[in-house]
Amino acid sequence: MSSLLGRRTATIEVSVAELIDRVTILRLKVARSARPSPPAFEEQLHRYLGELECLNVEGVTADLHRFLQRVNGMLWHLESEIRNCEAARDFGTRFICVSRMIRRLNDRRVRIKARIDELCRSEFRETKSYT
């Protein structure tokens, strides 16, 4: 049925930090995908960068943007480590340590995004809740 619908996209409002986060993740996908990277990644990245440029927040967010890029890069690497552990059915010390590092980095990522949204006076804010 989906082939009958054709290609579709949705336009939604997101916080400034969420847009920057998506840009950093797309940059990782473009950089780390098999060459050549899928055109969809580059097209989406181009669109997001255009939106970000219109917001004119680079001067306010540049350092946090770079920090978020590094954190997401570390998370990318650690997620690969977890997949390797799972493939090897190794749920020992390495798996536990990497899982804890992922949790701590995700907490840091949330704090960076919150700071970006605060500095940019973003209308939307990410709220994490844990059970």
Q: Residue 38 phi/psi, 5° resolution?
A: -55, 135
2 or 111, higher pLDDT: 111
Structure confidence at residue 1 (pLDDT): 52
48 or 3, higher pLDDT: 48
9 or 118, higher pLDDT: 118
Structure confidence at residue 8 (pLDDT): 77
Distance, in Å, from the CA atom of 93 to the CA atom of 81, rounded to the nearest integer, reads: 12
Q: Tokens 């994490």 identify what position?
A: 128
Quote the mean pLDDT of the chain.
90
Which sequence spans correspond to the domains of the chain?
Answer: 12-120
Mean pLDDT value of segment 56-61: 92
32 pLDDT above the threshold of 80: yes
